[in-house]
């Protein structure tokens, strides 16, 4: 567990850190309700479906259309938008990146019992393209996951490789396919210490570097594992995404034809 005054040092040393108890229980109950509402809206979809900026990423798992995650649902759901811009979250991010932030990713990750959703070990740097749009990817971008449910080994918590960020380069092939795809990167993974399980309680926030190797196994429990992931960049070092703070103050979510996104975000 990160000390209240030491989480940033741990982040830079290990490439990730858990910050406990950022959001109180009553707010997590509200966020859980938001997740339920978005899941209900997406029921019955058989393929990836977009609605403006929002997208339901539906993929076949064992031959069954399955919601792997929802992107930018905050653009159509005010509750999710409030959590995306919560001072509880942004105050942490600004301690690392400063007061002027862009947001690149906004994702609701669902792992419902038996749905088979998993992610191979990967690095987020793979998706932050082109390089010219990120002038300090190592120091100017980070991902933050807010736990909605307990994250346990049994329900497929995130696993992260300590110190794997230090080379500050892409080391793995592939994307974020399922856990079974890890075989293709075994030689690289064996160079590093074993991955650590990011066990979290609801309301905890996990922060990691874009070069940190991470992934997750399927949910083998009878309980859901949901996390709300938001990725932020220092504005002066990034051309993509949408502005979220200027001089430390939040700004309304706005995008248009001139908004630039990573290539992977357009697939």
Domain harbouring 138, CATH code = 2.60.120.620
pLDDT, residue 263, reads: 76
Residues in the chain: 267
For 85-119, how does the pLDDT look when each residue is reduced to its tens digit (9 = 90+)?
999 999 999 999 999 999 999 999 999 999 999 99
| Residue 208, strand partner residues | 16, 143
Average pLDDT over residues 36-43: 94
Strands (E), the chain: 16-19, 49-51, 54-61, 64-71, 101-111, 119-122, 141-147, 158-160, 196-197, 205-208, 214-216, 225-234, 242-246, 249-250
User: What is the CA 198 to chain-centroid distance, rounded?
Assistant: 13
Indicate whether 258 pLDDT > 80.
yes
Number of structural domains (the chain) is: 1
Distance CA 109, CA 103 (A): 17
For 110-151, how does the pLDDT look when each residue is reduced to its tens digit (9 = 90+)?
999 999 999 999 999 999 999 999 999 999 999 999 999 999
pLDDT, residue 176, reads: 84
pLDDT, residue 5, reads: 58
Q: Is residue 1 part of a domain?
A: no
Domain containing 40 equals 7-252
Q: Is residue 266 part of a domain?
A: no
- pLDDT exceeding 70 applies to what percent of the chain? 97
Indicate whether 267 pLDDT > 80.
no
Distance CA 238, CA 241 (A): 8
For 175-203, how does the pLDDT look when each residue is reduced to its tens digit (9 = 90+)?
888 999 999 999 999 999 999 999 999 99
Q: Is residue 261 part of a domain?
A: no
Q: Is residue 257 part of a domain?
A: no
Indicate whether 1 pLDDT > 60.
no
Q: What is the mean pLDDT of the chain?
A: 95
13 exposed, middle or buried (CB, 10 Å; 0-12, 13-18, 19+)? middle
Q: Is residue 105 part of a domain?
A: yes
Indicate whether 266 pLDDT > 60.
no
pLDDT, residue 175, reads: 85
pLDDT, residue 6, reads: 87
């Amino acid at each position: 567990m990160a000390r209240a005054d030491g989480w940033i040092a741990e982040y830079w040393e290990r490439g990730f850190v858990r910050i406990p108890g950022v959001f109180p229980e009553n707010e997590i109950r509200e966020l859980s309700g938001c997740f339920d509402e978005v899941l209900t809206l997406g029921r019955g979809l058989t393929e990836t479906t977009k609605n403006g900026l929002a997208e339901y990423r539906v993929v076949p798992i064992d031959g069954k259309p399955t919601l792997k995650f929802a992107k930018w649902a905050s653009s159509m759901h005010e509750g999710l938008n409030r959590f995306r811009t919560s001072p509880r979250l942004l105050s942490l991010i600004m301690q690392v990146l400063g007061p002027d932030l862009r947001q690149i990713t906004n994702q609701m990750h669902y792992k419902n019992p038996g749905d088979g959703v998993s992610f191979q070990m990967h690095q987020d740097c793979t998706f932050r393209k082109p390089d010219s749009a990120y002038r300090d990817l190592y120091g100017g971008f980070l991902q933050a996951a807010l736990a909605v449910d307990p994250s346990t080994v049994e329900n497929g918590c995130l696993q992260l490789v300590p110190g794997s960020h230090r080379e500050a380069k892409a080391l793995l092939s592939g994307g974020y396919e399922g856990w079974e795809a890890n075989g293709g990167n075994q030689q690289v993974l064996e160079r590093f210490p074993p991955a650590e399980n990011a066990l979290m309680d609801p309301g905890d926030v996990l922060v990691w570097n874009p070069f940190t190797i991470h992934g997750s196994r399927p949910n083998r429990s009878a309980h859901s594992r949901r996390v709300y992931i938001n990725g932020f960049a220092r504005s002066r070092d990034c051309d993509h995404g949408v502005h979220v703070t200027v001089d430390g103050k939040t700004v309304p979510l706005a995008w248009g034809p001139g908004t630039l996104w990573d290539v992977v975000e357009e697939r």
